[in-house]
Chains A and B, each alone.
Chain A
Amino acid sequence: MAKRVGMEVSVAISEMVKMADTDVIAAYPITPQTHIVEHLAELVADGELDAEYIPVESEHSAMSACLGSAAVGARTFTATAGQGLELMHEVLYVASSMRFPIVMTVVNRALSAPLSVWSDHSDVMACRDTGWIQIFAENGQEAVDNTLCAFRIAEDNDVLLPVMIHLDGFHVSHVIEPIIMPEQKIVDAFLPKNNFPLPLDPEKPVAMGDFGPPVIYTEAKWAQEVNLRKSKESVLKVWQEFGKSFNRHYKPVECYRCEDAETLLLTMGSYSETAMTAIDKIRGEGKKIGLVRIRLWRPFPFGDFRQAVKGKKTLIVLDRAISFGGPGGPVCSEVRSALYNQNNKPEIVSFVGGLGGRDITVADFEEIINNGIEIAKNGRDNEFEMYGVRE
């Protein structure tokens, strides 16, 4: 029987990486990801995990080493956060374009300056278009479960794309949570061996990462785009099978008390848990409100999302990142364009808040929701509301 144990989420993620029998870990420690790679280094040093642990001099090197590892068909893991993710930036595109099934935990952190080790989604949003499959975890269990799913999704020969699992720094990563760790034999049955179809192999030489002249580049990018969109089928299949094996069920868009709701709040990541408490409270006051949470950020689940908000009056989006000089919240901006050509779409109100680790409490969510409903009714003259800023 799987046991429910109190564990720090970072440690639990490392334990899952161990259970997945990862071959290579190349990582550079950065707050708040540090405990994940520290624990993995211990597992390798103690002989509990038979893997190559490559301590590198930067995140750029970490991702570059991961490319080499994935190229020979080794199961490859890394983790990073904030500035580290940005330093990897150009290599992220190489990983997805070369179709390497690398799994990376991103412990979401705000970007400098001023220096902040605390959480928001600025780091993710800057890497939105890098061609990775991206999944947002709300809590520790989701982060752990999706770490296992990520290997299976990434390595599926119909997919062959890198996967990022996002979890909020500190609010998830450093929390001690009751986590259900599965039995090794169920993990083994769930996760087949990595079988990269065209690895570097002296017996059957191939060339990787070559020059792509204008005559080829468009075709290469379209192949990548078609593949990333299509990967949703595999993500769904893996989640379905995960549900069968582990009895925990995941889908691209989660709805909470949405059925008869007139107003929906939309969040991603850990603040969704507080949001649910706020929804319950406001429901108690007789207001018809629900919560939509996007779990699968890339490929964006257009169908599921449109279905979730269809016929609703108001959609209030809380972003934990800011698109400077642009539409405000990057999630809201995507959501708006996903609904632009739809009939019967809700009035959309954009809030940006929870930056650099600032808490959004139940009371804050109540204020956001009430203000959002007012703004939707009366209109506004700005692109978005900066929630909680002191004037």
Chain B
Amino acid sequence: MTKKENELTWKDLEIGTIITEPGNASQYRTGDWRSQKPVHDFSRCIKCGLCMIYCPEACRFQSKEGYFEADMFYCKGCGICYRECPTMVITMEEE
């Protein structure tokens, strides 16, 4: 898809909004839904990766230092990582 979804006119859509190009869900900014965001204190992090495993948006990625950070384009602020982190690295703060 050459156009972004907010640039598509009704004429650009395939019949019945059939999707012919795979993977366009990646354009969907679930980060828009967020009312709280995860804030990290990586000094306590043991790099276990549980936050990455539990994240329902699969928005956690490992940085060069080995910490699991959240991609805020997709993070919807559900707080599951905060609930599951065994060393309490994560706190949730209002946006």
Contacts and interface: CB of A to CB of B under 8 A. Distances in A.
Interface in B4-40: 5-6, 8-20, 22, 25, 28
B5 A100 contact: no
A123 to B, nearest CB: 25
Given A206-B18, A208-B16, A212-B17, 9 more contacts: A97-B17, A98-B17, A99-B15, A99-B16, A207-B18, A208-B18, A208-B19, A211-B25, A222-B10
Name the interface size band of chain A: 20 to 34
Given A216-B5, A219-B9, A160 B15 contact: yes
Contact of A197 (B11, B12, B15, B19): B15
A222 B11 CA distance: 9
Contact of A219 (B8, B19, B20, B28): B8
A226 interface: yes
A156 to B, nearest CB: 12
A160 B16 CA distance: 9
Contacts of A226: 10
Interface of B: 5-6, 8-20, 22, 25, 28
A205 interface: yes
A219 B7 CA distance: 11
Contacts of B18: 98, 198, 206-208
A220 interface: yes
Interface string A198-225: 1000000111101111011001101100
Interface of A: 97-100, 160, 197-198, 205-208, 210-213, 215-216, 219-220, 222-223, 226
A220 B14 contact: no
A214 B40 CA distance: 32
A207 B19 contact: yes
A216 B17 contact: yes
Identify the interface centre among A97, A197, A210: most chain B CB within 10 Å of its CB.
A210
Contacts of B9: 219
Contacts of B25: 211
A100 B25 CA distance: 23
